[in-house]
Amino acid sequence: MVTAVRISLSSVASRAAAVVMMLLLSSACQAQLSSTFYDNTCPNALRTIRTAIRSAIARERRMAASLIRLHFHDCFVQGCDASILLDNSPSITSEKFVIQNNNSARGYEVIDQAKSAVENVCPGVVSCADILAVAARDASEYVGGPSWTVKLGRRDSTTASPSLASRDLPRFTDSLESLLSLFGTKGLSARDMVALSGSHTIGQAQCVTFRDRIYSNGSDIDAGFASTRRRNCPTTANGNGNLAPLDLVTPNSFDNNYFKNLLQKKGLLQSDQVLFSGGSTDSIVSEYSRTPSTFSSDFASAMIKMGDIEPLTGSSGIIRRICSAVN
């Protein structure tokens, strides 16, 4: 009798364990992003986003760079949840004004335009976080960079975190060790980090971010390059916002020139040059400088990996009606 009760108890326990396992598995499946996420609910989502992004980049080519960076600055702060897009409000303290974003991150209005175009075709379905991820891919493709299949199904946060933004977004003064450790905390390897930094093959930086480096007279910067850059970046603070291309050779096309520059000590930011300055990532930089196809495919894989950082899925988060505010 006792044995029978024990047997049935143990079979109840094992059934319960099986149910728990199934629940865990199904929530894990639910939590996964998928490229077909909107196929039934908003079949025109991708086409609509693409049209908005392409027309914005056609108006201003630099926008491609700004949109790739916006997705990055979203994903590194509490995951890819569009938290970067939230404006200040009574319940939100925006991430837009932390030092790494303030007067620097741009493209917010382009995401708003894409969102309103998508809302016209399928209201309340497509998240701002997914629009950021798709915009980054479309931007890369438009300026001659790699393309990839974007996984979808992220939802939007109801919170923003300036303190996490200031902690988790890299700074141009960071050492190679701190950058590696920061990217590591986001599940990204040294190779991912170097590949992703290759997006500095397009876009611009402000004088304030590279002034110390070009006036350093250090041995890790090409003297001719430093003197050219000084012409438009005076030592006085009124030149702080003057722009220079991150890739001096082909600033408008997405290629592997960024890595060739690093080999010649012509990285604009200190955080660029640390990737090739006698440290552990030198060999990756050399490889990408020699083999553009490897850079392209590694960049695409790393962007997919970055887009996977802590998404809100299932019933977590919301689909914002406008990207800059919580519904």
Report in angstroms how near the CB of residue 263 gets to ligand HEM at its nearest.
18
DSSP H or E segment with residue 245: strand 243-245
- In a 3-state reduction of DSSP, which class is residue 266? coil
Report in angstroms how near the CB of residue 74 gets to ligand HEM at its nearest.
11
Report in angstroms how near the CB of residue 316 gets to ligand HEM at its nearest.
24
Taking the C-alpha atoms of residue 257 and residue 201, their distance in angstroms, rounded to an integer, is 6
Taking the C-alpha atoms of residue 210 and residue 270, their distance in angstroms, rounded to an integer, is 7
Report in angstroms how near the CB of residue 67 gets to ligand HEM at its nearest.
8
Q: Is 74 annotated among the ligand-binding residues?
A: yes
Q: Is 270 exposed, middle or buried (0-12, 13-18, 19+ CB in 10 A)?
A: buried
Helix (DSSP H) and strand (DSSP E) numbers for the chain: 14, 2
Q: Is 83 annotated among the ligand-binding residues?
A: yes
Catalytic pick from 71, 73, 155, 266?
73
Q: Is 105 exposed, middle or buried (0-12, 13-18, 19+ CB in 10 A)?
A: buried
Report in angstroms how near the CB of residue 191 gets to ligand HEM at its nearest.
12
Q: Is 71 annotated among the ligand-binding residues?
A: no
Taking the C-alpha atoms of residue 227 and residue 314, their distance in angstroms, rounded to an integer, is 54
* Site residues, ligand HEM (CB under 6 A): 62, 65-66, 68-69, 72, 104, 106, 170-172, 174, 179, 196-197, 199-200, 202-206, 209, 246, 269, 271
Give me the DSSP letters along 57-93: HHH-TTHHHHHHHHHHHHHTTTSSSSGGGPPPBTTB-
Find where tokens 């599940």 sit: 187
Q: Is 177 annotated among the ligand-binding residues?
A: no
Q: Is 81 annotated among the ligand-binding residues?
A: yes
Q: Which is nearer to ligand HEM, 151 or 200 (CB)?
A: 200
Q: Is 316 annotated among the ligand-binding residues?
A: no
Q: Which is nearer to ligand HEM, 118 or 306 (CB)?
A: 306
Q: Which is nearer to ligand HEM, 42 or 233 (CB)?
A: 233
Q: Residue 244: which of 267, 274, 265 has the closest Cα?
A: 267
Q: Which is nearer to ligand HEM, 159 or 204 (CB)?
A: 204
Tokens of 286: 């050399």
Q: Residue 74: which of 133, 134, 119, 125 has the closest Cα?
A: 133
Residue nearest to ligand HEM (CB): 203
> Does the CA dihedral 112-117-120-124 come out positive or negative?
negative
Taking the C-alpha atoms of residue 292 and residue 58, their distance in angstroms, rounded to an integer, is 25
Q: Which is nearer to ligand HEM, 42 or 96 (CB)?
A: 96
Q: How far is CA 39 from the centre of its chain?
A: 24
Q: Which is nearer to ligand HEM, 271 or 313 (CB)?
A: 271
Q: Is 71 a catalytic residue?
A: no
Report in angstroms how near the CB of residue 114 gets to ligand HEM at its nearest.
17
Q: Is 77 annotated among the ligand-binding residues?
A: yes
Find where tokens 């519904």 sit: 327
User: Which residues are known to be catalytic?
Assistant: 73
Going by the annotation, the residues of the binding site are: 74, 77, 79, 81, 83, 95, 170, 200-201, 247, 250, 255
Going by the annotation, the residues of the binding site for heme b are: 200
Going by the annotation, the residues of the binding site for substrate are: 170
Going by the annotation, the residues of the binding site for Ca(2+) are: 74, 77, 79, 81, 83, 95, 201, 247, 250, 255
